[in-house]
Structure 1
Amino acid sequence: MKLTSLLLATVTASLLSACIYINKGGDSNSDWEKTERENKAVISSLQINTAEMDIRSRLGEPDFSEGYTDNDADVRVLFYRTQRQKEDGITSKNECTPLVFRNGKLIGWGDKAYSSHQNH
């Protein structure tokens, strides 16, 4: 009787541990999926000349950022995660959409906007 109770308790504990692990993994997946979905929605509604601070207030802190001066203009590129490439738990630039600002105003987003300003 004691052996049966011990065996039942061990099996129950193992099953509960597995359920907790599975749920925890599911939550982290839904977090990045939700972030990507929300970032895409905001980015798809952007307007040229929107102030950088307005966009930051909607999207939060970027995953990456770059900045430089070009012909006395301040250029900043903010990268926001929008498409997962690898299941490695790390966000890389190729999983992000770049937003390009000149003197604090949005001048473009996406690969074309980013690559055209890398050459300046």
Structure 2
Amino acid sequence: MSVKVKLMTKKIIRYILLGIGLYAVLASLVIIFYQDDPTTMNWQDREAFNNRFIDKLKPAQKLSSESVLEQLGSPDLTFAKNSNNHVYQLFFYRTQHVKSDGITTQDECTGILFKDGILIAWGLGALSAYHSEAI
């Protein structure tokens, strides 16, 4: 091989490596700094996003309703009541597709219950706790 071909080959390899490195840096920055926005997701992605968020909830967590609204956006269904000088809010977020009718129903959602703005229950127990007078 001539000297020109060797130099050209080295130059091409450098550009390829530089491109791969630049791509890796940009991809890493997007992964680290890009925040998911539920309002811009299609319904399948939003369901998966809601499921992942709800699956990470823990009983001892002092999560506020404002924090949930910031992270998940507006709930698909909402109920609220005053009982025994406490405010109870029940947010339903869509987590499973049941019927393609354009309407989100309770059986397609997972409930998240707040007492005075603090998380107290989620999942199947949230609705029964909301209707219970023992809360």
Structure 1 moving runs of 4+ over 3 Å: none
**Residue in 1 that maps onto 2:125:** 112
Cα distance in 2 between the residues matched to 1:65 and 1:74? 13
Matched, 1:54 2:72: no
Cα distance in 2 between the residues matched to 1:65 and 1:86? 20
Partner AA of 2:84 in structure 1: N
**Residue in 1 that maps onto 2:9:** none
Query: Percent identity between the aligned chains?
Result: 34
From 36, 42, 56, give the equivalent of 1:31.
42
Cα distance in 2 between the residues matched to 1:46 and 1:112? 14
SS in 2 for 1:39: helix
Counting matched residue pairs gives: 91
Give unmatched runs, 5+ long, in structure 1.
Answer: 1-29
Cα distance in 2 between the residues matched to 1:65 and 1:112? 16
TM-score (norm 1): 0.71
TM-score (norm 2): 0.63
SS in 2 for 1:107: strand
Indicate the RMSD between aligned Cα atoms, in angstroms.
1.4
Say whether the 8 Å CA contact 2:90–2:130 is kept in structure 1.
no
**Residue in 2 that maps onto 1:71:** 84
